[in-house]
Chain A
Amino acid sequence: GAVVSQHPSWVICKSGTSVKIECRSLDFQATTMFWYRQFPKQSLMLMATSNEGSKATYEQGVEKDKFLINHASLTLSTLTVTSAHPEDSSFYICSAATGRAKDSQHFGDGTRLSIL
């Protein structure tokens, strides 16, 4: 089946640091990828839709200047959390759209970000 790789799986850094998270579709091309955020005991919340070769579309309330998304190829999207603060600590999950109704999206295993 389709595989999506997300890296790193876990990162701890100091407040003010910028952190980059990579999302790769390993065996299929994904023109569209999605970024979600999940706080403890809550569901996944969509942050943005990333389209290859164009600007990302952000959900209401998500700061585009803080969460920079780049989708430079059909197999790679990156999310950079700029000048991260403790309130940005969360579980970040990407998914890649397969373009098929069957199985629709495949998800990475998430990145746990902890800002000290």
Chain B
Amino acid sequence: NAGVTQTPKFQVLKTGQSMTLQCAQDMNHNSMYWYRQDPGMGLRLIYYSASEGTTDKGEVPNGYNVSRLNKREFSLRLESAAPSQTSVYFCASIRTRTSPAKNYGYTFGSGTRLTVV
């Protein structure tokens, strides 16, 4: 099925451990995004990639790094996990290259629930 696939769906980390969240889309979309969702705060943008080969910081980039591996894949890395990074992480994508989401809605993955203890 076409869409955005995130792995893993669940993960528990100890403080200081590292991990990479994977995201892949098969819709030939140009732009991809990583959000985190915390109770009562909606979704906040961590990083985004407007097109293959580019990445930019969002609202809450500290403690994260990203890689746009190719047009399909956009990974999010936590180098040294902290309890404050406990959250649900969503990847999203959209077709347009310029002025992202100018006329289209985003397609979201089903999320990765991360707990850092």
Query: Do A and B actually bind?
Result: no
